[in-house]
Amino acid sequence: MSRPNKRMRFWFDTEFIDNKHTIELISIGMVSENGRTYYGVSNECDLTKADSWVQQHVLTHLPDKSSWKSRAQIREDITLFIGNNSPEFWVYNGAYDWVVFCQLFGHIRDLPKGYPWYSNDLKQLWYVLGRPQLPEQKTDAHHALHDAEWNKSAWNYLMMLWEQRYGELPF
Ligand SMILES: [Mg+2]
């Protein structure tokens, strides 16, 4: 595949508690273009505020509490995970994911130098391509790392469709 830009792609997904006013990070999973993965679970989210949907679909997938980390640690981990690469972020239906990601750093303007101030949304790409059937996710949905891995496979699939149709990749 030709490559119009030199940024390194990162697919990510988050789980969070949404109380209709704010969103609070529970977990984040990230996959890099060269196949590395990161998974972090916050120890600062008040899980007693989780509604029954989050309890049932998200909390059941969390690992043992001993592996949970502070938000500052997760921020540092992600900064190291991305390293010196100029990242290109991809999410799926990810308006909330993008905000909760930025909030790890503070304001959006606190993102490290070189990070774009937006994420690309697979859902938008899916819509533009005529809403094709996407690959089935065979792992646990609503586990942030499994979802991030699915995002990457869905991206690969959509890029294949794009290339078949238009010959050249837009990204
Ligand atoms: Mg998810």
> Which CATH number covers residue 36?
3.30.420.10
In a domain, 83, yes or no: yes
In a domain, 1, yes or no: no
Distance from residue 112's CA to the centre of ligand 1 (Å): 24
The pTM of the full predicted model, rounded to 2 decimals, is 0.94
Distance from residue 92's CA to the centre of ligand 1 (Å): 9
In a domain, 127, yes or no: yes
Read off the pLDDT of each residue in 143-147 and give the average, rounded to a whole number: 97
In this predicted model, which residue has the larger pLDDT, 5 or 150?
A: 150
Residue 85, pLDDT score? 87
In a domain, 147, yes or no: yes
- Closest by Cα among 23, 24, 22, 21 to 41: 24
Read off the pLDDT of each residue in 13-19 and give the average, rounded to a whole number: 97
Read off the pLDDT of each residue in 109-138 and give the average, rounded to a whole number: 96
Confidence of residue 1 (pLDDT cuts 50, 70, 90): very low
Residue 103 confidence (pLDDT) above 60: yes
Distance from residue 162's CA to the centre of ligand 1 (Å): 25
Distance of CA 16 to the CA centre of its chain: 12
In a domain, 34, yes or no: yes
- What digits encode the pLDDT tens for the residues 42-73? 999 999 999 999 999 999 999 999 999 999 99
In sequence order, what E strands does 55-128 have? Answer: 87-91, 120-121
Q: Which two tokens stand for residue 38?
A: 């990161």
CB 14 within 8 A of CB 97: yes
- Closest by Cα among 83, 151, 161, 103 to 128: 161
In a domain, 171, yes or no: no
Ion ligand 1: residue ranges with CB closer than 5 A: 13, 142, 147
Distance from residue 102's CA to the centre of ligand 1 (Å): 17
Residue 2 confidence (pLDDT) above 70: no
The total number of structural domains that make up the chain: 1
In a domain, 2, yes or no: no
d(CA 40, CA 71): 9
d(CA 80, CA 71): 14
In a domain, 142, yes or no: yes
Read off the pLDDT of each residue in 87-108 and give the average, rounded to a whole number: 97
Distance from residue 167's CA to the centre of ligand 1 (Å): 31
Residue 37 confidence (pLDDT) above 90: yes
- Percentage helix, strand, coil for the chain under 3-state DSSP, each rounded to 5: 40, 20, 40
Q: Which domain holds residue 28?
A: 8-166
